[in-house]
Chain A
Amino acid sequence: MRRSTAAAVGTLTGAALILGVRLSVQPPAAPAAAPAAQELTGEPAPAESSAAAKKPAGSSSAKPKENGKPAGQAKEEDGLKAGTYKGKAVQNPYGTVQVTIKVSGGKVAGADATYPKTGFSGTINPAAVTKLNQETLTAQSAKVDAVSGATFTSQSYVTSLQAALDAAGA
């Protein structure tokens, strides 16, 4: 299931940027505990950020960061309170997009978007992105028909495993 989420990230990067601008003039919704540290690169999301993406909107009750000053005083003069805010989930033809903005020093310090899993992204992106699995590097000897390796030269072929195979088969 994470696969379709990651795929949607790639598709929706452009849309997220536009929505981010629009949301910055709307009243912020319920503050969230932490910014969804999801990178908008289209790469498979790391496990942590996909966990963050699964969090339903408004489920967090944490207070926004106060930046050393009481919220709602000095920061209100600038119009934006420090903290991390999640926007309303917006439906678009590709699925649901939810934008998070981070406010610091009275300014929007960063915008981010998450894409809760919906049926849409699953069908739009059937060829979902997978991730390579990490495993232990082994050093084995086994009977093989051929050896694949970095291209050897005519000179280094002589000492290669493939040359030994060829000699054995000749």
Chain B
Amino acid sequence: MGTVVSIELADDLPEPRLRELIASTCAWLHEVDARFSTYREDSEVSRLRRREIDLPDCSDDLRLVLDRCAGLWRETDGYFDAYATGPLDPSGYVKGWSVEVASARLAAAGSTRHHLNAGGDIRMRGAAPGGGPWRVGIRHPWQADKLAWVLAVREGAVATSGTYERGAHVWNPRTGAPATGLRSVTVTGPDLAVADAYATAALAMGEPGLAWLAKRVADGYESAAVTEDGRAFTSPGLPVAP
């Protein structure tokens, strides 16, 4: 599945430098797509799927991704599952991870104020153009042009999983049935890949995911969720914009 990544650099740098930074970020994201896409026959992930290569032959990046997927599988009681649809599909982790890496590379290259939005999952760093925190709207789960919450985040990630955009595409691995009960789950915290995995896992859990999300607060991940029948829930420390 293709998606769109929006990049905003708020640094006070010469325009040619900003363009270079954007270009190198795009190059990295295209590289990730070439190496990890399950839609490309020649990607490393596709070759591992066909057993043309074994785990020891894989790149450090892919082994790290698989290791993190396994860790998140345990952390989420199996609800975040890179094998949920059958063959290996680490896309659910790769997207957030690639944006995390992109943001870290930007910072190392001199961009300390930016945000990247990969299909609705956002990593931000430093101050927004106005000097304050980034204002992140959480899409209303029924009204595409409205927001349910606005968060103020200076450093960290906001990820949302929901059933409204692509229908029932998240499965409950325990029952094999499409996830039901929750319509939208947003998780905010330090790491985008983790936030995204937590949001997807909670969505797969259904309403018991609300109690599970509450426990993630201790790890630094706050959340907002909306049930299928329109009830809204937030964790006490959710950084809602004033």
Contacts and interface: CB of A to CB of B under 8 A. Distances in A.
Contacts of A161: 137, 139, 144-145, 147
A130 B232 contact: no
A148 interface: yes
B166 A151 contact: yes
B235 interface: yes
Interface string B159-175: 11111111000000000
Interface in A124-170: 127-154, 156-157, 159-163, 165-166, 169
B120 A150 contact: yes
Contacts, number: 166
Given A127-B218, A139-B143, A162-B6, A150 B213 contact: no
A39 to B, nearest CB: 11
Interface string B100-132: 000000000000000101011110100011000
Interface in B125-157: 128-129, 134-140, 143-151
Given A138-B148, A144-B137, A149 B217 contact: no
B186 interface: yes
Contact of A135 (B184, B214, B217, B234): B234
Task: Using C-beta atoms within 8 Å of the partner chain, give the interface range for chain A.
Answer: 35 or more
A154 B4 contact: yes
Contact of B233 (A133, A144, A153): A133
B221 to A, nearest CB: 12
A161 B146 CA distance: 8
A43 B211 CA distance: 6
A44 interface: yes
Contact of B225 (A132, A160, A169): A132
A150 B139 contact: yes
Given A127-B218, A137-B226, A150 B166 contact: yes
B120 A147 contact: yes
Q: How large is the interface on B (under 10, 10 to 19, 20 to 34, 35 or more residues)?
A: 35 or more
Contacts of A162: 4, 6, 117, 120
A108 B186 CA distance: 44
Contacts of A139: 140, 143, 146-148
Contact of B8 (A43, A141, A153, A169): A169
A33 B71 CA distance: 45
Contacts of B138: 147-149
12 contacts: A133-B233, A135-B232, A138-B148, A146-B117, A146-B137, A148-B121, A149-B160, A151-B95, A152-B120, A153-B3, A161-B147, A162-B117
